Amino acid sequence: MSYQFELALRQYIAAFDGTNNITPAEFQTRFDNLYHKDFTFLSKDGKTLTREEVYKREASKLANGTKVTLIHFRKIGLDCIDIKLGLVNGGEEHAVARFVTTITAKQAVTSKEIDESPEANFWSPELTTKLMVIGADCKSKSVVYKWKEFGTFQTNM
């Protein structure tokens, strides 16, 4: 399952090559292959975005000629993936984005952006009440949906 998600992610990232030479219909198809219809995104500042809001944000990045590179793709749970992307906008600005994504049926259902800034991950014994830890939340809404997936793919034993 994560293999098919990784393929969809790599095809989606390939659209962000900085040239903006993909049609809107092809971009919509790649977006639909990657994100579940009930997808939600939690940004590092606490905002929750719906699938439509994420599509608008990503389409504007594509139109601006943003180049995206995959830094790492790590499976950290049964249905949880740690993704780190490098973003270059116009050859000048460089940013790194990290997400913990829960997948089901080969698509992303939820993503949480991880704040890797030194201020967010600073630890001090005096500041234990204000300690912020990377919140990699891989809890499934229900174990039943995962049980239903077993046996649907040939690789399950």
Phi first, then psi: what are they for 76, rounded to 5°? -115, 5
The secondary structure element, H or E, covering residue 36 is: strand 35-42
- DSSP codes, 58-118: HHHHHHTTEEEEEEEEEE-SSSEEEEEEEEEETTTEEEEEEEEEEEETTEEEEEEEE---T
Summarised one tens digit per residue, pLDDT across range 95-143 is 888 999 999 888 999 999 988 777 766 665 555 444 444 444 555 555 5
The answer to whether 61 and 16 are in contact (CB under 8 A) is yes
Q: Are strands 107-114 and 35-42 parallel, antiparallel or unpaired?
A: parallel
Tabulate helix, strand, coil % of the chain (nearest 5): 30, 35, 35
Summarised one tens digit per residue, pLDDT across range 36-86 is 999 999 998 889 999 999 999 999 989 888 899 999 999 998 889 999 999
pTM attached to this predicted model: 0.74
Bridge partner list, 83: 73, 99
